[in-house]
Amino acid sequence: MPNIETTRNDPVRFPLADVIYDKKTFTVTSGQTYLEGTLLARDTSTNKYVVFVKGGSTNGNGVPAAVLASEVVATATGDRVEDVALAGRVRKPKLVIHADKALADPSVNIDEAVLWQLRDLGLIALPVSNLMLQDN
């Protein structure tokens, strides 16, 4: 008789309601995986999207501008066109700061200052949980 394996899927994604998406150029680094919900900033010298760096001060990388709509696995360094969320209501627990992606809670360092910057863009991050999902 085969062994029974339990797989825990997390079907809850970051969008909540009224999310507006657009395709934007995103600069990636080879070998990196960018999770769905990763905060992006707009590089002021190239007008391309880069990963948001909390406290960053290089060409606007410390100012969030969008949220990555799906996971991106970069096999080469360069520019890719990806869907990003520009406005709408999103789940705060599903947002990610790329530098914190290995933490148990990659949204732990998204504080009120970052949330206010997102609100200025029309991205409202709400601290919600889905009570309708079964928790094994």
pLDDT the model gives residue 46: 94
Give, rounded to a whole angstrom, the gap between the first and last alpha carbons of the chain. Answer: 23
- The domain 15-126 is placed in CATH, from the list 2.130.10.10, 1.10.443.10, 3.30.470.10, 2.40.300.10, at 2.40.300.10
Q: Cα(37)–Cα(131) distance, rounded to whole angstroms?
A: 21
Provide block-wise average pLDDT over 10 residues at a time, the chain (136 residues).
56 73 95 93 95 89 93 94 93 88 81 92 82 54
All structural domains of the chain with their residue ranges:
15-126
